[in-house]
């Protein structure tokens, strides 16, 4: 019995580890460390138990327990190997992740520096904008004051516009009344225009007759003009003949010159003579004789010589 149990333990412990075992009943154990060697050991154990143990049920239970223990050991070993491989892969991944994070941190630091520069530039820009906004606020306050003044002016103008609007409304009502009257007048004018058109047609007929008569009159005027030109030509010829016949004589010319000299002398003498030197001695004699000489010319000069110059003074 001891030898049987030794063989059972040897088969249960050594066969799963991959060691060789002598063949029995045409069974050959494989030296590879895989599932085929385990199956061969299992068959060998069952065969040995069936030959040696008179109580196969209890031994079978023990074999099953041993098999479960060996299976659990193998699973633990495989699990440890997988865990070791997974841990190595995790370490590699963690190293790559750390390097990536370092690069990201460097990039972020550079980006933060750029952001700080941009923030400082923006702060300067904001200060400039704040200064501009303050100036704009002052300008807006000034404009608000101007707008308030303008608003007061506009209110005054609105009041004036309202007054003018009232006057315009009153005038519109008056204009509407006048427009109604104008419409009545237009109707009257249209009626009168119709009468005028009718009369105009009559006038056109009369104008046609008058034009015909005017044509006749123009023809007669042309004939009269021709005759008048002929008459003027004959009259000019007669005048030329009379002028040639009536040439002035030297005696007549000398007499006219003498009368002109006499008139000038009489007028000059009358103007130089005083009122006391006239025959009557009146205050208006000088004026009266001057008027007579101016209007009667030669006759007045002859009368002046005989009546004033030839008589003695009073």
Question: Which residues lie below 8 Å from residue 43, measured CB to CB, with a gap of 6+?
Answer: 27
Label each residue of the chain as H, E or C: CHHHHHHHHHHHHHHHHCCCCCCECCECCCCCCCHHHHHHHHHHHHHHHHHHCCCHHHHHHHHHHHHHHHHHHHHHHHHHHHHHHHHHHHHHHHHHHHHHHHHHHHHHHHHHHHHHHHHHHHHHHHHHHHHHHHHHHHHHHHHHHHHHHHHHHHHHHHHHHHHHHHHHHHHHHHHHHHHHHHHHHHHHHHHHHHHHHHHHHHHHHHHHHHHHHHHHHHHHHHHHHHHHHHHHHHHHHHHHHHHHHCCCCHHHHHHHHHHHHHHHHHHHHHHHCCHHHCCCCCCCHHHHHHHHHHHHCHHHHHHHHHHHHCCCCC
Q: Which domain holds residue 255?
A: 250-309
| Entry pTM | 0.24
62 inside domain: yes
Q: What is the pLDDT of residue 264?
A: 92
Domain termination residue (choose one: 100, 135, 160): 100
pLDDT of residue 48: 59
Tell me, yes or no, whether 206 lies in a domain: no
Choosing from 74, 100, 126, the residue where a domain stops is 100
Examine residue 192 and state whether it is found in any structural domain, yes or no. Answer: no
List, in order, residues 6 or more apart from 44 with CB less than 8 Å away.
Answer: 11, 15, 21, 24, 27, 29
What pLDDT shows up at residue 180?
Answer: 87
Residue 277 within any structural domain of the chain: yes
Note whether residue 142 is domain-resident.
no
Measured CA to CA in angstroms, residue 154 lies from 86, 144, 165, 284 at distances of 88, 14, 15, 83
Write out pLDDT tens, residues 23-56. 343 333 343 444 455 565 566 666 655 555 445 6
pLDDT beneath 70, residues of the chain: 1-56, 244-249, 310-314
Q: What's the pLDDT score for residue 200? A: 86
In a domain, 31, yes or no: yes
Domain boundary residue among 72, 100, 128?
A: 100
pLDDT at position 24, please?
A: 41
Instruction: Give the C-alpha separation, 302 to 71, whole Å.
Output: 192
Within-domain flag for 54:
yes
Total number of domains in the chain = 2
Query: Would you say residue 48 lies in a domain?
Result: yes
pLDDT of residue 189: 85
């Amino acid at each position: 019995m001891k030898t049987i149990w030794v063989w059972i333990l040897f088969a249960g412990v050594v066969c799963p580890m991959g060691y060789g075992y002598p063949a029995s009943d045409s069974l050959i154990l494989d030296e590879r460390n895989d599932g085929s060697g385990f199956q061969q050991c299992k068959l060998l154990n069952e065969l040995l138990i069936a030959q040696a143990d008179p109580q196969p049920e209890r031994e079978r239970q023990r074999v099953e327990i041993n098999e479960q223990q060996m299976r659990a050991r193998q699973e633990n070993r495989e699990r440890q190997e997988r865990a070791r491989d997974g841990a190595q892969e995790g370490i590699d991944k963690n190293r790559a992740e750390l390097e990536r994070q370092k690069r990201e941190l460097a990039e972020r630091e550079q980006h933060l520096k750029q952001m700080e520069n941009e923030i400082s530039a923006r702060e300067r820009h904001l200060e400039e904008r704040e200064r501009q906004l303050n100036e704009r606020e002052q300008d807006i306050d000034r404009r608000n004051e101007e707008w308030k003044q303008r608003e007061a002016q506009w209110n005054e103008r609105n009041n004036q516009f309202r007054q003018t609007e009232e006057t315009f409304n009153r005038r519109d009502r008056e204009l509407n009344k006048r427009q109604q009257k104008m419409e009545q007048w237009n109707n009257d004018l249209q009626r009168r225009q119709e009468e005028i058109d009718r009369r105009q047609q009559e006038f056109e007929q009369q104008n046609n007759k008058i034009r015909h008569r005017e044509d006749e009159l123009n023809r007669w005027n042309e004939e009269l003009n021709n005759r008048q030109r002929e008459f003027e030509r004959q009259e000019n010829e007669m005048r030329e003949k009379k002028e040639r016949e009536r040439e002035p004589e030297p005696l007549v010319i000398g007499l006219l010159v003498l009368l002109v000299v006499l008139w000038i002398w009489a007028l000059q003498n009358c103007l130089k003579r005083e009122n006391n030197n006239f025959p009557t001695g009146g205050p208006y004699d000088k004026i009266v004789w001057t008027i007579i000489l101016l209007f009667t010319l030669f006759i007045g000069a002859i009368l002046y010589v005989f009546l004033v110059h030839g008589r003695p003074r009073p």
